[in-house]
Amino acid sequence: MSNFKSGKQSIYGIKFDISDLSQFVDIVRFVHGDSSRWIYILDNVSTNPGLLKSMILMVRIGLYYGLIHIRLLLTAFFPKIT
């Protein structure tokens, strides 16, 4: 466990020693909760999505956050645009 103090704020953290992949899965389930979404992700982490699907995902993410960034810049320079 670690503790960092910055002014009035304190930040706490925990480091887990992992020697086996199955321990990692258990730790992630412990930290993030035992939700069905995380279990699905952890169970399917070994499946390879393929190059084309990965590229499409990266382009979609880039376009989405690029457009959000442009919108934020426009609203910062032109406050009447919402």
Which residues pair with residue 9 across a beta bridge? 6
Contact 42, 26 (CB under 8 A): no
The reported pTM is 0.43
Which residues pair with residue 6 across a beta bridge? 9
Domain spans of the chain, in order of start: 1-47, 49-82
Structure tokens at 36: 């069905």
pLDDT at 60: 96
**At CA 58, angle to CA 28 and CA 72, rounded to 5?**
95
Q: For the chain, what is the largest distance between any 2 Cα atoms, rounded to a whole number of angstroms? A: 55
Binned average pLDDT, 10 residues per bin, the chain of 82 residues? 75 76 74 69 75 93 95 86 62
